[in-house]
A and B are shown apart, each in its own frame.
Chain A
Amino acid sequence: MRMIKMLVGALAFAPLMAFAQVSLTTTAFHIVAVKQADGSVTEEWQKPENIVPGDLVGYRIHYVNSGKETATDVVVNNPVPDNTEYVVNSAAGMNSQITYSADQGKKFARAAELTVEENGAQRPAKASEITHIRWSINSVAAGSSGDVEFKVRVK
């Protein structure tokens, strides 16, 4: 009797899973300054190897809508990983509005408007105090995809 009930339960969820159409893939990179032949220095996003304190790490989050309907109010959330510090102005994403939190995701604001409380007063938050990054995308049409990214420095 119990077995059957569990099976029914599993089946009941199956149709829902088919609607889970936006998926995310996160990739990490080791950001390395590479001197080019002409003497200029270019930032290269390389394989995430040989990470040591002080290094820059880039995270690229690829989203894709593999469903048949347009997803709206898409909000990508990423906490700044432990033992790293957000690099100022490094969050990017086409067609997205980027907001930040300095209080573990309780409230979000644009970088210029983000404040933290200190000695009873509000002051602008430092990049090192940012705990979460959020990209708000109005809509992602069926079959379309995009990337958002940010950089951190390993403490």
Chain B
Amino acid sequence: MTCLKQLALIGAGLLASSMSWAVGTAAGTNISNTATASYTLPGGTSTLTKSSTVSLVVLELIDVNVVSGNSSSVSTTAGATNQVLTYTVTNVGNGQEDFVLDVTQLTTDNFDTTNVRVYRDTNGNGVFDSGDTQLTAGSSSIGLLADASATIFVVSDVPGTGTTGDLSQLRLTASSETVDTRGGTPGSSISGAGSGGAPDAVVGNNYTSNATGTLELGTSSANVSINKTIVGTVDPFGGNTLVPGSVVTYNIAVVVTGTVNNLTISDPIPSQMDYVASSLTLDSTALTDSSSDTDAGSFNSSLGTSGTVSVNLGSPSSGSSYTIQLKAEIK
């Protein structure tokens, strides 16, 4: 291993998002043992004797663990691009090690995604974004200190056609680059390959590990949460009682947790109320009531008993959130 590469590894380890210093004795640690004995000779002379010191060097144990960061299938839609599956790769050995990442499409599922790419969550925010580094599946390796983890995103595109419930499974495999290069079976040692001052490395039972994530073609309803609350009431007397003439401000919080297309939020005004004209806002920006202009909002007075407010949010990405507010007056 070159000096330069080692430096890069240390840097990468420090940046790793979740890090815990666990039990394994670090590679290169010296374990020494010395016994002593005391005894008495005739005449009462007490003497102390020492054994020579026996030293053992703890070698590097190469082990890695990959888990899926998605507890269940990730909902997607036909034709969706940049669909993200999340994995965590942890160096569970006792020395710094490079791991090669590769992605395979399982053959037991319903469809394969295309344009499969692998990214490391370089900026450590847990979300796939432009700050992350693309890796070449099958050849790029990531360096991890002992017990350090890296979050990996497998990003791909979904074919344009498919049936609800169809699954695509992608498996991320992390393998020790040392074992890939030098060969070896669990329990065998690789001469000269130890890190942290250990002369050799020992191949662990888990020198390679994998986890599978699943994309599922689904409906979008489960991916949007809507929470409507009253945030203010102004009565005709300047107070906040609910009497005829009081104006109530409604807040509709929308959170998108999956990929959805053509998301429209509709809010029928209650029959005992009238919509206050031009009171609709989206993320504090006013929207007009007209349905014929380009903004997202509209009020259709002929839909429902007191009319209906609609806001078209289009095809927001997962993680988006919106705040819609509108006012209505008690009749």
Same complex: yes
**A50, A79, A82: which has the most chain B beta carbons within 10 Å?**
A50
CB distance from B166 to the nearest CB of A (A): 43
* Beta-carbon contacts under 8 Å, A60-79 to B: 61, 63, 67, 69-79
CB distance from B101 to the nearest CB of A (A): 24
- Residues on B with C-beta less than 8 A from A48 are 54, 56
CB distance from B328 to the nearest CB of A (A): 62
CB distance from B35 to the nearest CB of A (A): 4
B276 at the interface (CB under 8 A from A): no
CB distance from A64 to the nearest CB of B (A): 11
- Residues on B with C-beta less than 8 A from A74 are 37-39
A35 at the interface (CB under 8 A from B): no
A83 near B31: Cβ-Cβ < 8 Å? yes
**A21, A51, A61, A76: which has the most chain B beta carbons within 10 Å?**
A51
A140 at the interface (CB under 8 A from B): yes
- Given A49-B189, A155-B25, check contact A27 B39 (CB 8 Å): no
A53 near B23: Cβ-Cβ < 8 Å? yes
B35 near A83: Cβ-Cβ < 8 Å? no
A22 near B49: Cβ-Cβ < 8 Å? yes
Bound Cα distance from A76 to B54, whole angstroms: 16
B45 at the interface (CB under 8 A from A): yes
Bound Cα distance from A24 to B48, whole angstroms: 11
CB distance from B62 to the nearest CB of A (A): 9
B16 at the interface (CB under 8 A from A): no
* Beta-carbon contacts under 8 Å, B2-44 to A: 23-25, 29, 31-42
A59 near B33: Cβ-Cβ < 8 Å? yes
B302 at the interface (CB under 8 A from A): no
Question: For residue A67, which residue of chain B has the nearest CB?
Answer: B41
A52 at the interface (CB under 8 A from B): yes
Question: For residue B23, which residue of chain A has the nearest CB?
Answer: A155
Contact flags B49-64 to A (C-beta < 8 A → 1, else 0): 1111110111111000
- Given A28-B56, A57-B31, A59-B54, check contact A71 B41 (CB 8 Å): yes
Bound Cα distance from A133 to B268, whole angstroms: 80
- Given A19-B47, A24-B50, A53-B94, check contact A75 B24 (CB 8 Å): no
* Interface positions of A (Cβ within 8 A of B): 19-28, 48-54, 57, 59, 61, 63, 67, 69-79, 81-84, 140, 154-155
Could you jot down 12 A-B contacts, CB within 8 Å? A19-B41, A20-B47, A25-B52, A51-B59, A52-B60, A52-B94, A61-B35, A73-B39, A77-B38, A81-B33, A82-B31, A154-B25
Given contacts A20-B49, A28-B54, A70-B42, could you give 16 more A-B pairs where the C-beta distance is less than 8 Å? A21-B41, A23-B51, A24-B49, A25-B52, A28-B33, A49-B189, A50-B59, A51-B59, A53-B24, A57-B56, A59-B35, A75-B38, A77-B37, A79-B34, A82-B31, A83-B29
Query: Which are the 6 A-B pairs with shortest beta-carbon distances?
Result: A24-B51, A53-B24, A52-B61, A71-B39, A26-B51, A74-B39
